Amino acid sequence: MSSLSNATTEFLNHCQYEKNLSPKTLKFYTIDLKQFHAFLLTNGYQLNVTEIDKQCLKDYLKELHCWKPKTIKRKVATLKAFFNYLEYEDTILVNPLRKMKVRIKEPQALPKALTKTETGKILQQAYTALSRSRTGTYSRKEKIRDAAVIELLYATGARVSEIANLKTADLNLDTGLISIHGKGNKERAAYISNPGTLKILRDYLDAFGDGIGEYFWMNRLGNTLSDQSIRNLVKKTTKDAQLNQKVTPHVIRHTFATLLLENDVDIKYIQSLLGHSSITTTQIYTQVNREKQQQILINKHPRHELSLLME
């Protein structure tokens, strides 16, 4: 019989070295399987994977009720991947999750999006900070980089992790073509057509010069810019722009999609630009657009300007 601990190690090695999953996915798999192990240990269940049955998993799911639906979904997905692997490797004869229907209702929050004016204020603030920095200082280089990051977030609608993990070889500023590596190592193309965006990216290359290595973005220590660093610079720029709302890279991504939809871009193209594997994920933006249309009709319909005498 295989112990849960050994099976977990083998599974994680398989994910890292054979499937080449991202460090972020591996991190969550590790956290989720450690939690599952702790649950079994605390509640007196067998720690051999062949002894784990449906009832055990049902009890574990009850234990997860206090977590957010999105987190529960992730933890269940981890267990599914784990037991699918064990079944494939013939470590277990029966996959206890195969015939279990796990339904987790997650409230569908409509994405928040900025207006064109609000987006303009954030971009303007990035350039204002740049213009106020002294030439020849690291602060100026940093401000060039920050403006370039925000421009690229808005130009591509990419996820923060996709921007952070951008490699120097992924950009061709002569053609404006960028290769974005998304979820599941799926690659998609993005095109930058705005001259201002291309200029600030070239300015970034000039400012950091030979110091730029395999990865495009650099911090003060010469290391790759992290997801959190990008979130922080967006947060600071938004605060300095005096926008009284929470703006994250994900909000900029939503803004990119929503404004394209408002400009009559077909949703299938938006799906491709965002890197969504399913059109269903993208269709949430149509609800945002319907609300916008309703508001326009309430506020702007010419019928409101007519005052008629009713007999």
4-88 against 116-298: fold identical: no
Distance CA 172, CA 189 (A): 11
- Please give the CATH number for the structural domain made up of 116-298: 1.10.443.10
Please identify which of the residues 145, 159, 181, 254 carries the catalytic annotation. Answer: 159
**Residue 229 and residue 215 in contact, taking contact as beta carbons nearer than 8 Å:** no
What SS3 state is found at 302? helix
**Residue 10: predicted pLDDT:** 96
DSSP characters over 105-139 = ----PPPP---HHHHHHHHHHHHHHHHTSPTTSHH
Please identify which of the residues 34, 58, 68, 183 carries the catalytic annotation. Answer: 183
Q: Would residue 253 show up in a list of annotated catalytic residues for this protein?
A: yes
Distance CA 298, CA 285 (A): 20
**Residue 170 and residue 181 in contact, taking contact as beta carbons nearer than 8 Å:** yes
Going residue by residue through the chain, which has 311 residues, state the pLDDT in tens, using 9 for 90 and above: 489 999 999 999 999 999 999 999 999 999 999 999 999 999 988 899 999 999 999 999 999 988 988 899 999 999 999 999 999 999 999 899 987 888 877 666 666 889 999 999 999 999 999 999 998 899 999 999 999 999 999 999 999 999 999 999 999 999 999 999 988 778 888 889 899 999 999 999 999 988 899 999 999 898 999 999 999 999 999 999 999 899 999 999 999 888 888 888 877 888 888 887 776 766 666 665 556 556 655 775 554 565 555 54
What are the boundaries of each domain within the chain? 4-88, 116-298
Q: Which alpha helices (H) appear in 64-194, and where do they start and end?
A: 69-88, 116-131, 138-156, 160-164
Closest alpha carbon to 109 in 212, 257, 254, 244? 254
Q: Would residue 181 show up in a list of annotated catalytic residues for this protein?
A: no
Of the CA atoms within 13 Å of residue 13, those in its CB half-sphere come to: 7
**Residue 123 and residue 152 in contact, taking contact as beta carbons nearer than 8 Å:** no
What SS3 state is found at 270? helix
Distance CA 22, CA 185 (A): 8
Q: Would residue 159 show up in a list of annotated catalytic residues for this protein?
A: yes
Using alpha carbons, list the distances in angstroms from residue 94 to 54, 78, 81, 98, 124: 10, 17, 14, 8, 59
Q: Would residue 250 show up in a list of annotated catalytic residues for this protein?
A: yes
Please identify which of the residues 14, 37, 231, 250 carries the catalytic annotation. Answer: 250
**For residue 167, which phi and psi values (nearest 5 degrees)?**
-100, 155
Q: Which residue has the tokens 């449906």?
A: 54
Residue 309: left (phi > 0), alpha (psi -120 to 50), or beta? beta
Please identify which of the residues 143, 145, 253, 254 carries the catalytic annotation. Answer: 253
**Residue 271: predicted pLDDT:** 84
**Residue 209: predicted pLDDT:** 87
What SS3 state is found at 247? coil
Quick one: CA torsion of 205, 210, 212, 218, rounded to 10 degrees? -80
Whether the full predicted model's pTM is greater than 0.75, yes or no, is no
4-88: CATH architecture: Orthogonal Bundle (1.10)
